[in-house]
Amino acid sequence: MIRAKGEADSSGIDGPIQHDPEHDARSSRLRFGIFRKKLGENKNRLAFGDTPGRPDPDDPKSKPDRERTASIWARYRQWLWPYRWQITGLFLLAAFAAILEMASPAAGGLIIDKVLLNKNLDLDGKFDRLNLAGMLLVGILLTARVIETWRTYKLAVLNNKVVFRLRRHLHERMIRLPLDDLYRYKVGGIVSRLSGDVDQVSGLMQMALISPVVAAIKVVFALVVLLVWNWQLALAAMAILPAAIWVSVAYIGRVKPIYHAARDDRGRVDARVAETFGGIRVVRSFRREKREQRDYAVGHHTVIRKDMYARVIEMIVDVVWELMIPAIVLMIVWLGGVLYLHDRATIGQITAFQAYVALLMWPIFRIVFSISQMQRALAGMDRVFEVLDRLPDKPDAPDALDAPSEVREYAFNNVWFEYRKDTPVIRDFSLKVPGGSVVALVGPSGAGKTTLTDLVARFQDPTSGAITLNGIDIRRFKLESYRSLLAVVEQEVFLFDGSVRDNIAYGRPHATDDEVVEAARRANADVFITEMPHGYDTVIGERGLKLSGGQRQRISIARAILADPKVLILDEATSNLDSHSEYLIQQALAELYRDRTTFVIAHRLSTVTHADMIVVMDKGVILEVGRHDELMAREGAYAAMVERQRRAFDAVEDLEVQAGMDGG
């Protein structure tokens, strides 16, 4: 259950807003300029926690970028370990295909020298050897291509397995994170990590392992052939390689933080889009469409600027290599010609050297390009592991107990709770609740009522003190086992985009149709459901937007009834119903309350006069406890609240009567 709005405000859970000059800027140009300045300040040492847009910039686990990168690689190797034999097989296939591919230039050179330019062979002999060599060469190339195609297919299968496993683990961790972490990530940020970030990681195996190793095999093979054939041409071909590699790696090292910031910005934009369309009625009622459009455009354009900045750096590296390869080929032709004129090289060698230079340059370029692409993947992997490193919400202790099958007593023993340090929301709260009781929590907004039920449901745990069930601290129970006792009806009802039947049976997916209908009937929902076009199979839309507020509330109550809980929490459960529906719901709930421990929150005090215990709260402190008649007789805080509500309702009725008379 989520905190009530008033209580969230009074608690100050989120603390003061930390303004970021980059994201406060009103244009993408200004935002990008501020980002460039940050990047320049951290050019030589970009700390993990300093990356613009991190969700937790004060994380004490922040590490320098090199250490963090090494940690990411170590974690990624652990993820790949279960697939080590499959990866080994891919390596062997890739190596065999690479060797076959690298043999073709040597074969071409030998054909030129030993067949075409061989003066000891007549024309028929040359044709015979040329045909035989051509057939062998075609066979080699076809074999290499078949092996490479099969390897590519197997790599795609393996890559999908790894990505699915990573995405599944990420979803499992996300769905069990503490609520505060989820509030910070926001819906768009969560979706961004599950989709975009994991997608960025999808090619990491090819880029980080397969491609570099295959390229290294090709480089070694080409160097050996070049050095054996003609060490002078080989040295000429390799003369400018070290400088080119150094420049490439230096440039590409600047790309990762840029992609990291772009991914964070994209998550922020996605989160804002989710908020905008989730609250589209508010956006339209306050005529904020143009503002939301501008914010989206500025945010997305900032992502584009950062992405293009990284791509420009990559393009510089590409241009260097694209110019260098033909330059080296020209050098080989010139130097080879000189050596040929001095009888120190053959035409076949020069021709083969040109091919091998290309085959030498492109694998090296491939290694450099893989490093560039890895920066994107590492940025996504960084964000994924940042989530996986977080502890799940309230992990069970090794000696955790199963929850009891019956509820005899809840006890609140000097319970304190604070969202933010030194700002308590619940203060020294002590109360005993017998099993099967109906407990009504009343008080002004911000009194701590919803926070207290959050503690009962273990959405939060006390800062100090304890809540016990049958004399045992509820923190000692296995969380899933304990929550199996509960059902919650929220103040802000959340329904899923599916059928009415699916939503009612959400807590008991294997419930029979008769059980679903009975739960709806007891919640006074069966009549309007059967009047729908497809009855219980009617699709109600995202968040149940095709239903009225009262209808959504009644389906939520039916969902709780079907769950058959031992402990029921009703947070403003009848606030969205008209008086007639509320009366029928109260009748149904009276039956549901029997033999169940129920915590009810309601501002309409007429709905809780039946409660076994009414707890009057204000600012997290108990003011009064008792039954309705007892509290009215005391003429204290509760009686004053009842009197204020009576006067308010009388005033509303008088206004309605007056309006009717004026209209008549």
Q: Domain containing 293 — which CATH number? A: 1.20.1560.10
Mean of the per-residue pLDDT values of the chain = 77
User: Long-range contacts: 147-151, Cβ < 8 Å, 24+?
Assistant: 147/93, 147/96, 147/97, 147/100, 148/93, 148/94, 148/97, 150/93, 151/90, 151/93, 151/94, 151/97
Considering the domain boundaries, does residue 629 fall inside one?
A: yes
Residues 339, 436, single domain; the answer is no
Considering the domain boundaries, does residue 257 fall inside one?
A: yes
Residues 291, 348, single domain; the answer is yes
Residues 413, 486, single domain; the answer is yes
Considering the domain boundaries, does residue 274 fall inside one?
A: yes
Looking up tokens 């807590």 gives 507
The pLDDT of residue 10 is 36
Reply yes or no on whether the pLDDT at 383 is more than 60. Answer: yes
Question: How far is the C-alpha of 111 from the C-alpha of 205, rounded, in Å?
Answer: 38
Residue range of the domain that includes 218: 29-46+83-388
Reply yes or no on whether the pLDDT at 357 is more than 80. Answer: no
Residues 305, 431, single domain; the answer is no
Q: Convert the pLDDT of each residue in 298-353 to its tens digit.
A: 888 888 888 888 888 778 777 777 777 777 777 777 877 777 787 777 777 777 77
Q: Convert the pLDDT of each residue in 222-269 to its tens digit.
A: 777 777 777 777 777 677 667 666 766 666 667 767 877 887 788 788
Query: In this predicted model, which residue has the larger pLDDT, 284 or 87?
Result: 87
Token pair of 177, please? 């994170």
Reply yes or no on whether the pLDDT at 403 is more than 50. Answer: yes
Alpha-helical regions (H) of 479-572: 479-483, 500-504, 513-522, 526-530, 549-563
Considering the domain boundaries, does residue 208 fall inside one?
A: yes
Residues 427, 378, single domain; the answer is no
Are residues 49 and 62 in contact, defined by beta-carbon separation less than 8 angstroms?
yes
Arithmetic mean of pLDDT, 511-535: 89
Q: What is the CATH number of the domain that holds 487?
A: 3.40.50.300
The pLDDT of residue 15 is 42
Range of lowest pLDDT (52-56, 433-437, 517-521): 52-56
Residues 357, 449, single domain; the answer is no
The pLDDT of residue 25 is 61
- Secondary-structure percent of the chain, ordered helix, strand, coil, rounded to 5: 65, 10, 25
3-state DSSP assignment of residue 578 = coil
Considering the domain boundaries, does residue 107 fall inside one?
A: yes
Number of domains in the chain: 2
Rg, Å, the chain Cα set:
35
Token pair of 295, please? 């914010």
Considering the domain boundaries, does residue 282 fall inside one?
A: yes
Arithmetic mean of pLDDT, 428-443: 93
The pLDDT of residue 574 is 58
Residues 354, 415, single domain; the answer is no
Residues 413, 288, single domain; the answer is no
Question: How far is the C-alpha of 433 from the C-alpha of 475, rounded, in Å?
Answer: 18
Query: In this predicted model, which residue has the larger pLDDT, 275 or 623?
Result: 623
Reply yes or no on whether the pLDDT at 41 is more than 60. Answer: no
Are residues 225 and 345 in contact, defined by beta-carbon separation less than 8 angstroms?
no
Arithmetic mean of pLDDT, 507-512: 88
The pLDDT of residue 47 is 36
Residues 273, 319, single domain; the answer is yes
Arithmetic mean of pLDDT, 508-535: 88
Identity of the residue numbered 506? Y
* CA distance readout (Å), 540 to 202, 496, 544: 35, 8, 5
- φ, ψ for residue 569 (rounded to 5)? -120, 120
Distant-in-sequence, close-in-space partners of 238: CB < 8 Å, separation ≥ 6: 223
Are residues 505 and 511 in contact, defined by beta-carbon separation less than 8 angstroms?
yes
Nearest to 605 by CA among 574, 559, 564, 577: 574
Question: How far is the C-alpha of 179 from the C-alpha of 98, rounded, in Å?
Answer: 51
Considering the domain boundaries, does residue 399 fall inside one?
A: no
Query: In this predicted model, which residue has the larger pLDDT, 258 or 597?
Result: 597
Residues 354, 437, single domain; the answer is no
The pLDDT of residue 8 is 37
Question: How far is the C-alpha of 204 from the C-alpha of 192, rounded, in Å?
Answer: 18
The dihedral through the CA atoms of 152, 157, 161, 163 has a sign that is positive
CB atoms within 10 A of CB 519: 27
Pairing label, strands 409-420, 464-469: antiparallel
Residues 413, 376, single domain; the answer is no
Task: Select the highest-mean-pLDDT range: 462-476, 484-498, 602-616.
Answer: 462-476
Percent of the chain's residues with pLDDT above 90: 16
Considering the domain boundaries, does residue 499 fall inside one?
A: yes
pLDDT band per the 50, 70, 90 thresholds, residue 297: confident
Arithmetic mean of pLDDT, 17-26: 57
Arithmetic mean of pLDDT, 381-403: 85
Q: Report how far apart the first and last C-alpha atoms of the chain are (Å, whole number).
A: 46
Residues 560, 450, single domain; the answer is yes
